[in-house]
Amino acid sequence: MSRQALRWPLPKHDYWSTPFAESLLQHLDLRPGLRIFDVASGHGIPAFYLAEQVGPTGKVLATDVSAGQVARARAIQGSQLPWLRFECMDMRSLPPDLQTFNRVTGNLSVMFFRPNRFEAIRGLIERLSPGGQLVLTFPSYGTFDSLWQRVDQAMLGQNLTGERERFQIYLNERPSAQDGRTWLEKLDLDRIEVVEYPLEVETGPGHEFLHHPLLRGGFLDDVYECFEDQSLAGRFMADIAQDITRFTPLIAQRCVLSGWKKI
């Protein structure tokens, strides 16, 4: 498809979803006419791009557990790309009569599969046609490790025993690239690729760090949730935010899992 024909490129202003989607597309075998199942599709990155690439002879079913995200994506779509459909669906409990697809994709998806990530991925592979490809991306173990080390040191120094125990559970629960490879090997996929691409996230100190759009509402909230006393959590995180030079640069790991279902 020519550059001029691309009306649905990945949005440059999305500094989180778009870099992960770019990593996904590096590994996805994409061409006109494919049937694609896109999970955890959010407001459409990269579902709109995928739909334009497969064209009217193809099909894209994009699903998300959030009804609000699905409604937002539908509003963006309007009457365009009629072969793209957004539906509210939990990829961890897919309907048994759901058809199979040539490709199954999920940008920033694995983080939402918990606690039973292996079972969720097995369910996705059941929806993959023989000879089809699975490609998933997620922030893997190692993402923002410099920050988590600083948080752990501060909890230890302030004798926050219970908070630190809960924080360690969060840290140990994060999936690694090796975890991803093990899942795909156990599920007997072929031509497995597991690759990590670093992504630096820039931030300033204080309020900018504590309310950073890529950190709050996700990663930083996991620290707050370790505290029963949220006023204490606020003071603790405010102290962390004052000296970001101790944990910057902040590096995320964009992990891509790719594999093919045997014929």
Q: List, for residues 143-199, the tens digit of each pLDDT value.
A: 999 999 999 999 999 999 999 999 999 999 899 999 999 999 999 999 999 999 999
CA distance linking residue 212 with residue 88, whole number of Å: 28
Do 193 and 231 reside in the same domain of the chain?
A: no
Do 23 and 136 reside in the same domain of the chain?
A: yes
Per the CB < 8 A criterion, the answer to whether 112 and 40 are in contact is yes
What is the rounded average pLDDT of the residues 3-24?
86
2 band by pLDDT with thresholds 50, 70 and 90: very low
Q: What is the pTM assigned to this prediction? A: 0.92
Instruction: Identify residue 59 by its one-letter amino acid code.
Output: K
> 21-30, 138-147, 180-189, 211-220: which range is least confident on average?
211-220
Do 91 and 70 reside in the same domain of the chain?
A: yes
Question: Mean pLDDT across the chain, nearest whole number?
Answer: 94
The parent domain of residue 104 ranges over 3-140+175-200+252-260
Per the CB < 8 A criterion, the answer to whether 60 and 47 are in contact is yes
Do 107 and 33 reside in the same domain of the chain?
A: yes
Per the CB < 8 A criterion, the answer to whether 185 and 134 are in contact is no
Do 15 and 132 reside in the same domain of the chain?
A: yes
Which position has the higher pLDDT, 149 or 91?
Answer: 149
CA distance linking residue 245 with residue 214, whole number of Å: 18
Do 116 and 232 reside in the same domain of the chain?
A: no
Q: What is the dihedral of CA 108, 113, 114, 115, to 10 degrees?
A: -160
Q: Any idea what the CATH number is for the domain that residue 130 is in? A: 3.40.50.150
Angle made by CA atoms 200, 202, 205, in degrees to the nearest 5: 140
Do 24 and 115 reside in the same domain of the chain?
A: yes
CA distance linking residue 31 with residue 54, whole number of Å: 6
> How far out from the chain centre does Cα 158 lie?
33
> How far out from the chain centre does Cα 34 lie?
22
Q: Can you give the pLDDT at residue 5?
A: 58
**Counted domains in the chain:** 2
Do 136 and 149 reside in the same domain of the chain?
A: no
